[in-house]
Every structure is written in structure tokens, then in C-alpha cells.
Amino acid sequence: MAFVTANWNPLGDAFYRKVELYEMGWSLKDGLRECLVAAAPYGGPIALLKEPQRRSPSARPQLEIYSSSGVTMASFVWKSGVVKQLGWTVCDDLLCIQEDGTILIYDLFGNFKRHFSMGNEVGQSQVLEAKVFHSPYGTGVAIVTGASRFTLATNIDDLKLRRLPEVPGLQGAPPCWAVLTQDRQSKVLVANGADIFILDNAVCTPVNPPGLSPQATSIVHMCVSFSYKYLALFTDSGHVWMGSTDLKEKLSEVDTKVRNTPKQMAWCRRPKSREPSVVIMWDRHLLVVGVCKDTIPYHLDDDSVLVPELDGVRIVNGTHHELLQEVPAACEEIFKIASMAPGALLLEALKEYEKESQKADEYLREIKEQNLLGEAVRQCVEAAGHEQEAETQKTLLRAASFGKCFLSNFSPEPQVCMCRDLRVLNAVRDYTVGIPLTHMQFRQMTVRVLIDRLVYRKLYPLAIEICRYLKTPEYQGVSRVLKHWACCKVQQKEEADENIARAISLKLGEAAGISYSEIATKAYECGRTELAIKLLEFEPRSGEQVPLLLKIKRSQLALSKAIESGDTDLVYTVVTYLKNEMNRGDFFMTLRNQPVALSLYRQFCKHQEQDTLKDLFNQDDDHQELGNFYVKASYQEKKLEARIGLLQSAVDEYNKAKNEFAAKLTEEEMRLLRFQRRLEEEKGECLLGFSLHDTISTLLSLGLHKHAEQLYKEFRVPDKRYWWLKLTALAEKEDWEELEKFAKSKKSPIGYLPFVEVCVKRQNKYEAKKYVSKVTLDQKVKAHLSVGDLEGAADAAIERRNEGEIGAVLSRCSPATDRALVERLNRAKATAAKK
């Protein structure tokens, strides 16, 4: 604790510190000499390719992958072409850029994933240099070819190669260049002698860094900050120019007094940096050059590599891994010698308290008097986040909670969060994991990405622990990790399908939101079809199972899963697929076993393929439906004979369906059609297609009574209906004579009230009255009333002594004109009521 400031160096108004992260676990014979090194930001993995230029087959170079702590993750002999550059993608995949423009992608464990090319032109002129860069659009690659032309791809997962315009006067490789992302576009900044150009898609623009010292004749090195906002240039005169990447503003220029070309250069700053700087590395010499023109020199024991980070620079060499950064404000306030900041006082108070000294109270009082206790707690919490040592973290957090005891209404949230975060950070910083994230990096990259990183490293138990500890929602956390685990598990070729499936189901169990179909797809891709099917059975979302099942040609299973999902569209999809895949017979048989699919397919056929519909019914021996089908079809026919032919088919089918009644009705229809045609020919009347009722009605109105009679008998029309029919037809024709004859022909099966009403409807009361007498007693009142004969109605009602009927008559009488009648009715009503 006492030595916290031991490794601090002042730079302008701030301090810089170099903290050791790890003593490297690897044992490299020659350190990093003659190695191609790529270290991923955010404490990512490190790839080494020793002596990349070695070409003889007897001694091929070795490619090794390590964690940031130097733990071996993969090591294999490089057998492909000459590698010009290594780089890491945002998904922790290793990019190996070869001289011929081919890029090979490996995973963390050295498994080959895929490859792609940077274009034909590149292949011919060879890659001279390459850079891997990151932007919001993913991981990009930029190369410069032997023809001094740049080619760039912003996102290797969505490869779109762009060949940038020519740089005037450039021959061979440029002395230095960098990629930057500006205005949602990736550009290349390139130096040629003292000239600088910006290359974008279309043009090559010369630019002038404002205030670049005139001694310089060429720019030999450049670097862009982590955020692409700042640029640093190193000239042959030993000057470092610092400014913004848009080259509009100069921040500073410093003479380093060193004229050698640096090996590497990197910005060292943090968001809200007070004293940003550029770190320049030569063979054994490291110089921190502040914008404030102050410098800090360091000696290097060994070949090293700088890894720029969001909030500092990591320095890796053959034995050690260090972090160089500006001391964060909170830490400075607390630990600076003789600091009187509230955080520093609080820490002192805690120390005194732990010594059981009353001085603790004095310190506390001092903070409280200034009303700064809250601030003090906040400082301690924040500083804890910036410290690497667990002991220091603990002390600071203890100080914070000590201070918090004397505060009311102070939100515990930040402190609780910090404790939680630190616990996670310390876990992943552990030597065995080797992800040396700072708190600021962790917040920037989010838990989600950290979990991803752990998953890529197959550190499943740790990832799950962290998810549970941070209470990440299951489907984002534990379930996702388990899915990756399972995807990895299915690739274990030596294990039996049975065992893997069981292991997976056991572990994943009821975990929420697991996509078994994704796991199964993975298994299928690894050539384990049987395993894929087994895994699919665990998938709760039937819909998800279908596409894969179709892909692995388990179409029958796909069909039943689609049906299970209830999604009819999915069923249709499978059915259409099956239809194209199978021969018709098999297809029909398949459908036959799946009634739901069958009826959906029938629906489809009804609108799209009538003939198929018939075949379907035929196959099922569904004679009833076939009959209906023919009936429907018959209406499509324009020719009578064709229509009758189809109706005959319908009759046959109905008979086969044992629906004799329908067959008989159909036969009758055929007979009717023939009759109508015959009559049409004889009389020229248009009758075809009429119902029997309408036909008879038309015949009657035409006076063709004989024919009507014939139909009545032949089709066994019930008497009642026939009488109604004839009655209505005759009345409509106003053929009263015929009507009367008809009424007398025999006793009416419908009574005579309809006669009365029909006549009244045609406004012929005279005719109507003829039938009133024939009406049966119980309807007499109604009959009298409808012809308007109140007297008659009254007589009938009184005779029947029916109260309701008397009432009905009464309601029709007007008291003024029918006074006598009303009285009579009222009397009758009274006597009827008495009974």
C-alpha cells in the first residue's frame, strides 16, 4: 500500500504509471525477436509466428496462440504461404494475411475456419504490407500491394473489396500509413516523403498537417489513436507532431532528439484524459511524449510490442506484460503524496480506525465539515475500479463502506456494482484465464461481449458463473453459454451420438430459450445427421425444427413437426416441398397419414388445382366428396349433355358412397334438365336451370297446366306445396276463373284461408269473398278480417266465444263508426271471460 506511487512518473500536470499485469507463462527462446506478433485489444489473445520468412519445407514456421498471460492455447506448424501480417477479429478469430492476398481465418484454438482473397490483382502484385483494423462495422483489412495500390475491406464478414485511388509518385511500399474511420467511411492516410495523402473511395487528397516543423524532409512513422480522433506523425528530424485526424488542429510538436525510425508508436490516452501522450518505441528505448511536451523515458530490456488500448498501452515482451497508463484522477487524488482530497482523508480515517485510534474521528470530522463525505466515498469506489491489486481494491472499498456509515440517504448502488464488477474482473484477470481488462474497458465492451469472449475460449463454467453472479437474464446469459457449449460438444467426434445427446439434454434441461435447432444444425454441419435428429427432439419450437429437418431430408418428420406447431403456413411449406420431392403416389400416401396436412392441401387444390383435388378424393375412396366435386364441376359446363354427364358421374359416386338419397335427387335433377330442354325446344320458353318450383310456376303462368301437372306427379311434389304454388301462380296471373276451378277441383289440403289472402294481396276483395265461406271455423275470423268484413268477423268470433279473437276484431273497429258492433263484442267478451 505504501508503495502505490512507487511506479508513478509525473508528466505535465498528471502522472503516468506502468503496472505489471503478468509475468508471462510462455518460455520463448529468443523472446519476441523475429516474430510476427498480433495482440488483440481488450486484453485479447496473442498470436506469434516465428520467423515468418522461412520458406524451406524442412523448417516451416510455427504459429502459436497464447492468452495475454502467456498460456498456450494453440500451436501448429504453418504450412501455407508466406504470412505478411497477423490480426484478430472482434470475434477473437485470427486472420493470417498471406503474401498472395489470401486471408486464412483460424479460431482461438488454431482450427481452420475459412479463407478468402483480397482480389486477383493483389495475387499478382503481392502484398507488401497489411493492417487489420476495427470499426463499428466489424473487422476490416487494408493492404498495400507491390504496385503501390491500396485495397480495403471494411468488414470481412460482408466482404466488399474497394480498390483505392493511386497515390501520386508512390513507388514500392510507403514509408508509413494508417487506416482510420471517419464519417462512416474507412480511409487510408499515407505518407510519401514529406507529403501526406488521404485516400477514400473516390479520390486521393493531399493534406498538410498544420504547423509541421519545416526541418522534416519525410514522415517516417505515424499512428492513429484508439478512437480514430488523434494522429501522431514522426519525422526524420526526430519531431513528433500531434494533432487531430482531420488535420485541422495541431495539439503539440515535440523534438525527441532521436532520429532513428521508431519500431512502434501508439497513443496513450483515456477518455477525459488530462495529459494525453504518444508512446514511441525504439529497440531498447521507450519514450512517453506528452502533448504538454514533457517526456518520460523508460529502458526496455527486451524486444517488445505495444498494444494500444482504450485507456492506455500494454507492453508485451518475452517475459513480462505491463500496462502503461495515465494515473486516473481518482487514484491520483487519493494516493498522491500529501493529498488532502476527501478520498485520501477517508482512506486515512479508515487506517486509523483499523488501528483503533481516535484520529479516525478527526479525519472524518474534517471531511464532514467540508460536506465532502459523499464525494470521498465516490472517489474511493472509483479508485478501487482502477486498481489492479486485489488488496488495494479491498482497502479502498472498505474505506468507502466505512465512510458510507456516516451518510444517510446515500445510494449503495455504485458501490455494490463496483464490487460485483471487480469480482468478475479479478476472475477473468486471473493468470489461468488471462484477460487483463481494466474497469473502463469492461464497461465499454459490456458483459455480453465478455461472456462471448469466455465462450470463444471454451471457459463455459466461468461464463455461467459470471452470468449467474451478475443475474444476466437467462436467454442472454446462461442459456447462450450452454448453447455454445452444446455446439462445441457435438463436434467431439469420438463420443457416441447417444451419449452426446443425453449429456446435452441433461445439462440444458429446461434452461429457458435454448435453441436446440441451432445446436442440431451445428451437428448436421459436422456430418452427424443422426445426432441432429436426436437433438431436434428437444426443441420446443416445432417451427424451428422444420427447416433443418427438410435440409436433412427427414421430410416426413418435418411434416409432423410443422403440424404440431399449428402454423399452417409452415405446413404448406413442407407440403409444397414434399410435392416436388416425391412421386405423386408417395406424396399422396404421406398426406393420407396426416389428416391436417391433407385438408390444407385440399384447400390449396380447391383454389389452384381442381384435378389434383379429384385425384385426392379418388385415392381416399371419398365418394361423397367426389360426388360433390362432380356436381360442382357440372355447373362449369356450358353444354347440357356435358352437364348431365357429370351429374351421372355424381350419381355413381353418391351410390358408391351409399348415399342413395343424394343419388336420387341428382337423378331427378337430370330428369328435370331433360324435361326443361324438351319443353324449351317445343315451346321456345327459357327454362333450363330453373328449380322445379320455378319451372312449374312458369308453366302455370304460361297456361301449360298439363305440363305442370305432369311435373307435379312425376316429381311427387307434396299436395300442399303444389296447391300453394298453383294458387300463387294463378293469382299472379289474375286468372280468377282458373283459380275458382282449381279451388273446386277437390278439397284444398291447405285450407281456403290462403285463397282469401292471395286474392286480397292482389287487391281483389270480390274474388276473396268467394272463399271466405269455405274457410274452416278456426280461421274464419282471420278470413273475414282480411276481406274487411267486420260484421262477419264479429259473428264468427262471438259464435266461437273466443276472447282473443273478439279482442282482435275489436282492435280493428273504430268506436265512432261501429258503435253497435263494439257494444255487442264487448258484451260477448264479458260472457266469454266469465266462462
Contact residues for other proteins, defined by CB under 8 A: 473-475, 479, 510, 512-513, 540-542, 564-570, 572-573, 576, 595-596, 599-600, 602-604, 607-608, 624, 628, 631-632, 634-640, 643, 661-662, 665-666, 668-669, 672, 688-694, 715, 717-718, 720-721, 724-725, 728, 750
**Closer CB to other proteins, residue 161 or residue 750?**
750
Q: From the CB of 55, what's the least distance to other proteins, in Å?
A: 48
Q: What is the DSSP string of 113-168?
A: EEEEES-HHHHHH-EEEEEEEEETTEEEEEEEETTS-EEEES-GGG--EEEPPPPT
Q: From the CB of 688, what's the least distance to other proteins, in Å?
A: 5
Q: From the CB of 484, what's the least distance to other proteins, in Å?
A: 15
Contact 233, 247 (CB under 8 A): no
Q: What's the per-residue H, E or C state across 40-91?
A: CCCCCCEEEEECCCCCCHHHCCEEEEECCCCCEEEEEECCCCCEEEEEECCC
**Closer CB to other proteins, residue 298 or residue 690?**
690
State the burial class of residue 121 (Cβ atoms within 10 Å of its Cβ: 0-12, 13-18, 19+).
middle
Q: From the CB of 627, what's the least distance to other proteins, in Å?
A: 9
| Nearest-angstrom CA–CA distance, 137 and 95 | 17
| Nearest-angstrom CA–CA distance, 703 and 680 | 15
**Closer CB to other proteins, residue 130 or residue 692?**
692
**Closer CB to other proteins, residue 607 or residue 747?**
607
**Closer CB to other proteins, residue 124 or residue 599?**
599
Beta bridge partners of 156: none
Q: From the CB of 628, what's the least distance to other proteins, in Å?
A: 6
Q: Find all residues with CB under 8 Å of 799, minimum gap 6, and list them.
A: none
SS3 468: helix
**Closer CB to other proteins, residue 638 or residue 835?**
638
Q: From the CB of 559, what's the least distance to other proteins, in Å?
A: 14
Q: From the CB of 657, what's the least distance to other proteins, in Å?
A: 11
- Outline where 216-295 has alpha helix (H): none
| Nearest-angstrom CA–CA distance, 253 and 212 | 8
| Nearest-angstrom CA–CA distance, 692 and 697 | 8
| Nearest-angstrom CA–CA distance, 296 and 285 | 11
Instruction: Take residue 149 and report the three cell numbers written for it.
Output: 495500390
**Closer CB to other proteins, residue 664 or residue 741?**
664
Q: From the CB of 728, what's the least distance to other proteins, in Å?
A: 7
**Closer CB to other proteins, residue 718 or residue 788?**
718
| Nearest-angstrom CA–CA distance, 384 and 347 | 12
**Closer CB to other proteins, residue 405 or residue 642?**
642
| Nearest-angstrom CA–CA distance, 576 and 586 | 14
**Closer CB to other proteins, residue 189 or residue 631?**
631
Q: From the CB of 529, what's the least distance to other proteins, in Å?
A: 24
Contact 698, 690 (CB under 8 A): yes
Q: From the CB of 124, what's the least distance to other proteins, in Å?
A: 35
Instruction: Take residue 653 and report the three cell numbers written for it.
Output: 359416386
Sequence-ordered strand ranges (E) for 348-430: none
**Closer CB to other proteins, residue 62 or residue 612?**
612
**Closer CB to other proteins, residue 90 or residue 464?**
464
**Closer CB to other proteins, residue 137 or residue 724?**
724
Q: From the CB of 596, what's the least distance to other proteins, in Å?
A: 7
Q: What's the per-residue H, E or C state across 517-529?
A: HHHHHHHHHCCCH
| Nearest-angstrom CA–CA distance, 728 and 755 | 9
Q: From the CB of 427, what's the least distance to other proteins, in Å?
A: 25
| Nearest-angstrom CA–CA distance, 178 and 166 | 16
Q: From the CB of 213, what's the least distance to other proteins, in Å?
A: 50
**Closer CB to other proteins, residue 209 or residue 627?**
627
Phi, psi of 567 (to 5 degrees): -85, 105
Contact 159, 129 (CB under 8 A): no
Lay out the sheet containing 185-192: strands in order across: 176-182, 185-192, 195-199, 204-207
Q: From the CB of 718, what's the least distance to other proteins, in Å?
A: 7
Q: Find all residues with CB under 8 Å of 235, minimum gap 6, and list them.
A: 212, 213, 215, 216, 217, 218, 219, 220, 241
Contact 310, 444 (CB under 8 A): yes
